[in-house]
Amino acid sequence: MRVLLTGAGGQLAVDLVEAFADTVLTAVPRTELDVTDEAAVSTVVRAVAPDVVLNTAGLTDVDACEHDPEAAHAVHALGPWWLATACRDVGARLVTFSTDHVFGGAVPAGAADTGYGEADAPAPVNRYGRSKAAGEALVRETLAAHHLVRTSWFMGVHGSGFATAILAQAAAGTPLDVVDDQVGSPTSTRDLAQAVRRLVAARRFGTIHLANSGSCSRFALAEALLEDGGHDTPVRAVPTSAAPGGARRPAFSPLDTTHAASLGLGLPPWREAVARFVDDLVDTGRHTRGRA
C-alpha cells in the first residue's frame, strides 16, 4: 500500500509514520506541500499516486485561528477539499482529522451522558471549530472514500500541548491553576495512530470518533498527569472565567466512541493512556519523574 502523509513533523504525524511502517510511505512537511495550494496538492498526489492520503496538516493554536480565520479556513476547509478532489482524481482514499471543537455550542439530548456521537450536528463555538466543520462538509461532498476522524485533547510524545505543559510546569515547581469546567476526551496520539492504521485496513468509510474512551475535566487530567509524573506540585481548580481572553472553548465536548468500539477500533481508557504517555515521555528523556 502506498501512503502519502501531509503535515509531516507534527505530533500525530510522527506516530502515524510509525504505525504505517508496513506501507510504502511518503511523508511531506509543509515546506514540501502546502495543502492550501490547490495546484501543488494535485501535482504531489499525482506524482506519489497513493492508495491512501493521511492529512495531518493543521493549525492547532485555537487562539491564533480566532485572530486569523482566513488562515484557519484555508488549512482546515480548503486543504482537505483540494486533497479530497485530488484523491478522487487518482482513486485514492483520504484520512483527515477533525476535532471535538466542531461541538460545544448545543448539547443534544443524550450527549450529556455519553458525549457527542458521529451523527450529532456540529455546533462550534470558535473559528477553529467552524473551519474544521466546513472542511468536514467539503470532504463528504467531494469524496465517498473518506475516513473523517474526529479526535480531541492530544497527548503526544513528539509535540507540545496541554499535557506536556502541565508536566513541564510541575517539573519546574510552578503551582498550577487548571480549569475544571471544560470536559473532554484525552487522546494518546500513539493509540490514535494505531487505531487509524486498523481503520484503514478495515476500509470503514465515513465519520468516526477516535479518542481514548471515557472523559474528564482538564483539572482531572492534570491531576492524573501529576500523579503518574510523581509530582506533588499544588494544583488548584479554577473556572474558565478566571482566565478571560482568547477563543471560547467548548465546556463539554467528549466524543462518544461506541461506534469505533463496535467495529473493534476503540482506544483504551484515557486513564491508562495517561500512564503510558508519561512512561513514554520519561523513556524518551523528555521528562524527569518527580519523587512524590
Ligand X SMILES: NC(=O)c1ccc[n+]([C@@H]2O[C@H](COP(=O)([O-])OP(=O)(O)OC[C@H]3O[C@@H](n4cnc5c(N)ncnc54)[C@H](OP(=O)(O)O)[C@@H]3O)[C@@H](O)[C@H]2O)c1
**Residue 182 interacts with ligand X (CB under 6 A)?**
no
Interface with ligand X: number of residues (CB under 6 A): 27
Q: What is the three-state SS of 105-146?
A: CCCCCCHHHHCECCCCCCCCCCHHHHHHHHHHHHHHHHCCCE
Closest CA to 13 of 51, 71, 57: 57
**Residue 135 interacts with ligand X (CB under 6 A)?**
no
Active-site residue (options: 81, 82, 116, 128) = 128
List 81, 103, 154, 252, residue binding ligand X (CB under 6 A): 154
For the beta carbon of residue 99, count every other beta carbon within 10 angstroms.
27
**Residue 97 interacts with ligand X (CB under 6 A)?**
yes
For ligand X, the binding residues in 66-95 under the rule CB under 6 A are 75
CA distance linking residue 245 with residue 249, whole number of Å: 11
Q: Phi and psi (nearest 5°) for 239?
A: -80, 155
**Residue 9 interacts with ligand X (CB under 6 A)?**
yes
Q: Where does 162-243 show beta strands of DSSP type E?
A: 176-179, 183-184, 187-188, 206-209, 212-213, 216-217, 235-238
Q: Quick one: 38 or 290, whose CB is closer to ligand X?
A: 38
Q: Contact region for ligand X (CB under 6 A) — 58-66, 136-144, 173-181, 273-281?
A: 58-66
Residues facing residue 176 across a β-bridge: 235
Shortest distance in whole angstroms from residue 6 CB to ligand X: 5
Give, rounded to a whole angstrom, the gap between the first and last alpha carbons of the chain.
Answer: 47
The angle subtended at Cα 136 by Cα 8 and Cα 265, nearest 5°, is 70
What single-letter amino acid sits at 78? L
CA distance linking residue 104 with residue 258, whole number of Å: 19
Q: Strand, coil or helix: what is 154?
A: strand
Q: Quick one: 34 or 38, whose CB is closer to ligand X?
A: 34
CA distance linking residue 25 with residue 42, whole number of Å: 18
Q: Give me the residue whose beta carbon is nearest to ligand X.
A: 10
Q: Contact region for ligand X (CB under 6 A) — 42-50, 53-61, 168-176, 196-204?
A: 53-61
**Residue 224 interacts with ligand X (CB under 6 A)?**
no
List 3, 4, 11, 54, residue binding ligand X (CB under 6 A): 11
**Residue 65 interacts with ligand X (CB under 6 A)?**
no
**Residue 233 interacts with ligand X (CB under 6 A)?**
no
List 3, 5, 12, 273, residue binding ligand X (CB under 6 A): 12
**Residue 253 interacts with ligand X (CB under 6 A)?**
no
Q: Do the beta carbons of residue 233 and residue 179 sit within 8 Å?
A: no
List 3, 4, 5, 6, residue binding ligand X (CB under 6 A): 6
Q: Contact region for ligand X (CB under 6 A) — 6-14, 137-145, 174-182, 217-225?
A: 6-14
Active site residue 116: no
**What's the burial of 201, exposed, middle or buried (CB within 10 Å: 0-12/13-18/19+)?**
exposed
Binding site for ligand X (CB under 6 A): 6-7, 9-13, 29-30, 33-36, 56-60, 75, 97, 99, 151-154, 159, 161
List, by residue number, the catalytic residues: 128
